[in-house]
Structure 1
């Protein structure tokens, strides 16, 4: 069984590599060996759909094995606390995905998604780069609270005026 962390790494490449392993392969793509040793399949506890506008089901998402238990517990808590109808009404069943080996948008370093420790929720209504705004259809704050209780760092953080309200990660953002 994988040990669950309560002390997630800082959102710096060296810290992410030390905690999750280095996902970089020798040819500029994800390391195949790293992927097979570190990634696992997560099945959401309620029906989720990809944010492609086609209602494409997301039966499984790839996440880092160190994050699997936390993803599962957080989203089960969402279902138990908020209920299926609320989830659908607030679009908490729409995701832009989790693992994606790529550079940050507009950046030169790997996105946190490259370590499989992040998930984007309802990107169409929570676009990057935008501040979260109340009563504008942005991500539900009850959902945010549940995710944060389970250790996710929300990149729509109001206190720090963050600009990525769709994004939840199991590493600590450096402001």
Structure 2
């Protein structure tokens, strides 16, 4: 498991937003706005880790289960913007965060409402946590769509 930087250390670790990026070919197809996604832009330093987690997810869940649970609905990775409601850069600006199924895991929803908070998603979270990625949902009970290669 990698020890990722804290959010405050991301610029030094990952570089300026828009730099040090690579294209990651996904181990399973995802969709974004109904269109098939086979690749994503991600920071080079966390790309191999993300690929390992996604590969494990592909082995733990069938394609139909990934679709049913929203694990194949891509919500984005790189997006050079501040955090919602804040002025500090989002982890998406460093391309070290990935969102899944945003419609059923909205930012302010807690475990009582978010789809990815359900028991049948446990293996999904375990795959990320084995790589040291952090879920805001599991740690703070909001933004269940989001996983990041940065500590809080």
Do both share a fold (TM > 0.5)? yes
Structure 1 or 2, whichever has the larger Rg, is 1
TM-score normalised by length of structure 2: 0.90
1:45-83 deviations in Å (ceiling 9; x for gaps): 111011x3xx11112110000011011111000011222
Cα shift at 1:137: 5.8
1:3-42 equivalent positions in 2, closer than 5 A: 6-12=2-8, 15-23=9-17, 30=18, 35=19, 38-42=20-24
Q: Does 1:48 align with 2:30?
A: yes
In 1, Cα distance between the equivalents of 2:143 and 2:21? 24
Cα shift at 1:10: 0.5
Q: Secondary structure at the match of 1:57?
A: strand
In 2, Cα distance between the equivalents of 1:71 and 1:137? 22
Q: Does 1:83 align with 2:62?
A: yes
In 1, Cα distance between the equivalents of 2:3 and 2:114? 32
In 1, Cα distance between the equivalents of 2:135 and 2:84? 17
Cα shift at 1:142: 2.3
In 1, Cα distance between the equivalents of 2:141 and 2:111? 8
What is residue 156 of structure 1 aligned with on the other side? 137
Q: Does 1:73 align with 2:32?
A: no
Cα shift at 1:98: 0.4
In 1, Cα distance between the equivalents of 2:81 and 2:111? 24
Q: 1:109 to 1:137 in 2, by over 3 A?
A: closer
Bigger relative contact order, structure 1 or 2 (CA pairs below 8 A, ≥6 apart): 2
Cα shift at 1:148: 1.1
Q: Secondary structure at the match of 2:6?
A: coil
CA RMSD of aligned residues (A): 1.5
Larger strand share, 1 or 2: 2
Larger helix share, 1 or 2: 2
Equivalent residues, number: 148
In 2, are the aligned partners of 1:96 and 1:120 still within 8 Å (CA)? yes
